[in-house]
Amino acid sequence: MARTAPYGSWSSPISAELLVQEAVGLSQVLAADGYCYWNELRPSEGARNVLMRRSLSGTAEEELLPEGYSARSLVHEYGGLCYALHGGELYFSNFSDQRLYRLRPGGEPRPITEAPAVARAVRYADPVVTPDGAHVICVRERHQMEGVSGASGVENDLVAVPTDGLGPVTVLAEGHDFYAAPRLSPDGRRLAYLTWDDPHMPWDESAVYLGELDSALRLVAPRLVAGGPGISISQPRFSPEGVLHYLSDDSGFWNLYDEEGSGLAPLPAEFGGPDWVFGQSSFAFTPTGRLLAVCASPGGDELGVIEKGAFSPLPLEYKSVHSLAATEEGVVALCGSPTLPLAVVAVAESGRSQVLRESRAATVAVDYLSVPRAIEFPTTGGGRAHALFYGPRNAEYIGPFGARPPLIVQSHGGPTAQASALFDLKIQFWTSRGFAVVDVDYRGSTGYGRAYREELAGGWGIADVEDCIAAARHLAKEGRVDRNKLVIHGGSAGGFTTLCALTFHRVFAAGASYYGVSDLSALARDTHKFEANYLEKLVGPYPAAAETYAERSPIHHAEQLSSPVIFFQGMEDAVVPPAQTEEMYDALRRRGIATAYLAFPGEQHGFRRAETIIAVAEAELSFYAQVLGFTPADEVPKVAIANRTTLIH
């Protein structure tokens, strides 16, 4: 029989250690020659990224990278696809030096690019190998080097790197601010690729070009295929017959088109997402030419077949599907659901599936897991916003009669991102202790079409905050949560939303900022090239709109913030430099506001190390316990809070 205990104080089988215990991150699935390959992030090995493979007909996994190597690119800082396959060999970007390496499984990696004078000054991403195996075509990013011009000191281009490491690197395309997704036709004679230019982001305005490669590997007469003002293009690739296909949001949603501009399955639904990282893959052609694609909806993803202008879903239990790679029988992909952790899964065209690699070995009983419910609620200006709501759930506990659980409002990063119904132990960590969580898809989020994304234009720090507040108030009005115990947390752009909500409004009792933006002007002046002009659309041109930047920056209005805040920051973060977080923390500490700050050397923008993930979860739990006045059932280290005596429960 379930015991009665205050919300937040429930004992949970989901410990902070379980968040990383026998757990890995999975990404970048590829397939070739009867093998499935993937990139495996290992928090327990200092966030090392290891390339793995498994035969599609066997059960044994094979680790491909020797100790001391880590496959990760820092192009755009966020990286993404960093390896390619050809003839049983791999070509990958090594994290420590960002050089390209050639590796035959079982051997030692050999660099095929030179070491620059400045460490990590030359970076490579999104590689593809020419059919003859002679060159790797990829995106190159050069930092502060001789010959690099432009205000940012960073230049991006498309290059061909000899796989023997002996010849010169050939520039195939240059002149645009950004390049991505170089993809070769099956015969290797045609090259498609994406471009975009400041101040646009790829999901705002981008284009796909197509050109011929001559015998000297020169790109001849590349022509614009699709894209331009107000249109986003993504994921160019060729069918087995050599016909170019791509995603375009010209209709208002990312739908699939062929080289002639014909829509393959026109629907008011998204078949792709924003290109924050390289190598996204939401559709794939089987060797027979059959097209499998992922169609996203607020209720989750569906993998299906596109045929004769229609999309037909396959019978799968998974609600999150991405990173598709074609096989002889169908695809391999990353799949999961609210109760099934992310896994590498082989899916046949019939819908039959087989798990090849799970992201975690430790399991949690279903009756400790909260399954999200998609909600839509009113927000300011007569608009509607969206979210996923998780109620508290624990097989051993119920809350006191008449009591309501505290609510954590989760504001995602991006801000052009999307809440996911994928199994997330970090959310279950809270719900199994008696918290409710609402993961808000505020205006500007992906998944609801271009018009919804555009609703954040000029309104970052306002519309997103209003929607997070509206979600909390909607759930409180419905009697699902305690209106006096509302907290908010988020990372990066979500950290900015969190800090704005706490600074400019009196709704939340506390908050947690993960490497959150506090000074928009500093972000505009001191961030990496990829996002250097992102704020022009979200806020306004800088410095012309400097007054607006100051008005919306929490750091300039710290005197208005009276709720306790805990800050988490990576000390090697090039996206949101530590100085922003430290300045905000110092301002609150000087004013006597209860606050805490945890800094993590070796972490960048996003936490990857096991010890960091554990420390953060325990510190946030301890912080909320002290602020909201409950005693955690678990023995967690008591986080040090400056001005703790100001806390009032």
Mean pLDDT for 382-386 is 95
Fold of 369-646: Rossmann fold (3.40.50)
What is the maximum alpha-carbon separation in the chain?
A: 77
Mean pLDDT over the full length of the chain: 93
- Asked if pLDDT for residue 13 goes beyond 80, the answer is yes
Q: What length is written for the chain? A: 649
Stronger pLDDT, 5 or 147, i.e. the higher one: 5
Contact 5, 434 (CB under 8 A): yes
pLDDT grade for 44, boundaries at 50, 70 and 90:
confident
- The whole-number pLDDT of residue 501 equals 97
Mean pLDDT for 186-205 is 96
Q: Which candidate, 606, 596, 636, places its Cα nearest to that of 429?
A: 636
- Asked if pLDDT for residue 148 goes beyond 80, the answer is no
pLDDT grade for 288, boundaries at 50, 70 and 90:
confident
- The whole-number pLDDT of residue 147 equals 62
pLDDT, one tens digit per residue, over 225-267 is 999 999 999 999 999 999 999 999 999 999 999 999 999 999 9
- The whole-number pLDDT of residue 198 equals 93
The helix-helix angle for 493-504 and 463-477 (nearest 10°) equals 70
Whole-number percent of the chain with pLDDT over 70: 98
pLDDT, one tens digit per residue, over 420-448 is 888 999 999 999 999 999 999 999 999 99
- The whole-number pLDDT of residue 645 equals 81
Cα–Cα distance list, 370 to 295, 337, 407, 624 (Å): 24, 12, 14, 20
DSSP SS3 for 632: coil
* 630 burial via Cβ count (<10 Å: 0-12, 13-18, 19+): buried
pLDDT, one tens digit per residue, over 522-550 is 888 878 899 989 999 999 999 999 999 99
Contact 46, 609 (CB under 8 A): yes
- The whole-number pLDDT of residue 149 equals 60
Mean pLDDT for 479-493 is 96
**HSE-up of residue 417 (Cα within 13 Å, Cβ side):** 17
- Asked if pLDDT for residue 284 goes beyond 70, the answer is yes
- Asked if pLDDT for residue 479 goes beyond 70, the answer is yes
- The whole-number pLDDT of residue 51 equals 97
* Euclidean distance between CA atoms 464 and 488, whole angstroms: 13
- The whole-number pLDDT of residue 391 equals 97
Q: Who's near 177: CB < 8 A, 6+ residues apart?
A: 156, 196, 197, 198, 529
- The whole-number pLDDT of residue 151 equals 56
CA angle 455, 461, 462 (to 5 degrees): 60
Contact 51, 64 (CB under 8 A): yes
- The whole-number pLDDT of residue 43 equals 86
